[in-house]
Structure 1
Amino acid sequence: MPDDAPQAPVLGSPRPVTGYRILLPGQWDQVPLRHGTEAAIRRILDSAFSRIPDDAPKDKIGPYRQELERRFRSAVEQAQRGNALDLYLPVKPMNDVNLGASIVVSESLVPRSVRSARPSDPTDVVVQFLAQDGVENADLSSGEVDGALAVRREHVCESDGAIGDELASRRVEYIITVPGDPERWFIAAFSTVGGGSPRDELADALVEWFDAVMATFRWRRG
């Protein structure tokens, strides 16, 4: 049979990946960034505004709503500039604590410069891929997530003083190979400012929580 002849599907072969799912507590909500973004923004903001106490000072409500919407839309726009797929944010307090945290989901193709180097191991591919963004002193480890090779990277990103980025943040990324498509990588990036320091106990607890969330990750197959 010629090499380029159509191949019959293998009985019992896995169906192609069409998406993903993760399990999050009810305090978190999803903002899709490709379709339905504005509807999700309005739904989340309306829910947040509905929780403002009826006896709140009228002169405080307007500025509070405006600042909440500004910060929320700023986070969405920042994720969209990164060409992300989904943004997850804690939209309700957890144990009366308002969390400064987010999860950004995106996908990326292996850069041509990395493909041309032809590394022999998939882990080497993602390590070279990560090396291109200039992050130093990161903790790297590898394993599997729902049967796919995954590399976990954790580091602290110092503040650059820009608006909306005034505090240093603790960041954890899972970079996962997409089954059946070795040049595509799925990326789930978690970020938190902790209780004001990316190295405090709250940040440590939230990193452990995100690792537990990623243990629930499963591919959706068509």
Structure 2
Amino acid sequence: MSITENRRSPNGFNLVPPPGWDAIPLRTGTREAIDHIIRKAVAQLPAGFPKDDIPKARLKLNQEFKKVVRRARAKGGMTLYLPTERFHGVPLPVSIVAAAPIEIPRVRPQSGPEAVLAALASMTPDAETRELDDTAALRSERDVTADVAQGVDVAHRRVEYFVPVPGSCPDQYLTFSFSALIAPESDPAFYDTLVELFDAVMGTFRWSYA
């Protein structure tokens, strides 16, 4: 459905992560969310795990979460979604970052977000239009190679959704970024499955007007 100027502007959104995932707010409540996840992880340690090693495990988890949170905030993140439970015994090297709204000037006066999405699509390889809660959005997918000079430490599959905020003035857009680390000589089908998971999560997207 096209976005119209008289559509009421939402004040937020809802997204349902998969089972075994947790959401970490990046503006307020970050520390409390991390502490909750770490307590849950420690409680799930194997029965034979040495008690003397628990403080070290807790510290390592805390350091890892701080690193991931720092990177998400550097991208303008509002909320970070992470798998905090293993999938069939395997940790998933993936994350989803919902970024704060950004303002983008219209392509032409009175042109609306549709023209902005079309312009971005023309400059983005393999971009396509999807609909999220009656809102036209732009989806793109690509493999990013490791390039330390560009600040990319590990190769990864990246999928992004670019979503106009209905009724916003000036026009604002949300970005949802999915990243899956690519291990050397890994099966591409595995990452295709992870991307399908992210697309399913984005299918739960709903605007909030409360």
Whether TM exceeds 0.5 here: the answer is yes
- Where structure 2 has 5 or more consecutive residues not aligned to the other structure, the ranges are 1-5
2:108 aligned partner, one-letter code: R
Q: Within 5 Å, give how 1:210-221 maps onto structure 2.
A: 210-221=198-209
Give the alignment partner of residue 34 of structure 1, picking from 27, 34, 40: 27
Match of 2:62 in 1: 69
* Distance in structure 2 (CA, Å) of the matches to 1:200 and 1:137: 22
* Matched-pair contact (CA < 8 Å) for 2:145–2:152: no
Aligned with residue 21 of structure 1, among 4, 14, 29: 14
Match of 1:203 among 183, 191, 194: 191
Deviations 1:148-201 (A, max 9, x none): 110001111222248x95320101111111111161111111110155568722
Which residue of structure 2 aligns with residue 9 of structure 1? none
Note the 1:144-155 alignment, pairs <5 A. 144-155=131-142
Cross-structure match for 2:88: 95
Asked if 1:125 is matched to 2:125, the reply is: no
Aligned residues: 202
Alignment of 1:106-185 (within 5 A): 106-111=99-104, 114-115=105-106, 117-118=107-108, 120=111, 122-126=113-117, 128=119, 138-161=125-148, 166-181=153-168, 183-185=171-173
8 Å CA contact 1:174, 1:189 repeated in 2: yes
Look up the match of 1:5. none
- TM norm structure 1: 0.79
Larger Rg over CA atoms? 1
Structure 1, unaligned runs of 5 or more: 1-12
Residue 44 of structure 1: aligned partner: 37
Q: Give the Å deviation of 1:56.
A: 2.0
Taking structure 1 as reference, are residues 123 and 15 closer, same or farther at Cα in structure 2, changes over 3 Å only? closer
Shift of 1:126: 3.6
Q: 1:130 to 1:108 in 2, by over 3 A?
A: farther
* 2:77 alignment partner, SS class: coil
CA RMSD of aligned residues (A): 2.8
Residue of structure 1 equivalent to 2:3: none
Secondary structure at the counterpart of residue 70 of structure 1? helix
TM-aligned CA deviation for residue 59 of structure 1: 6.1
1:161 and 1:207, CA in 2 relative to 1: closer, same or farther beyond 3 A?
same
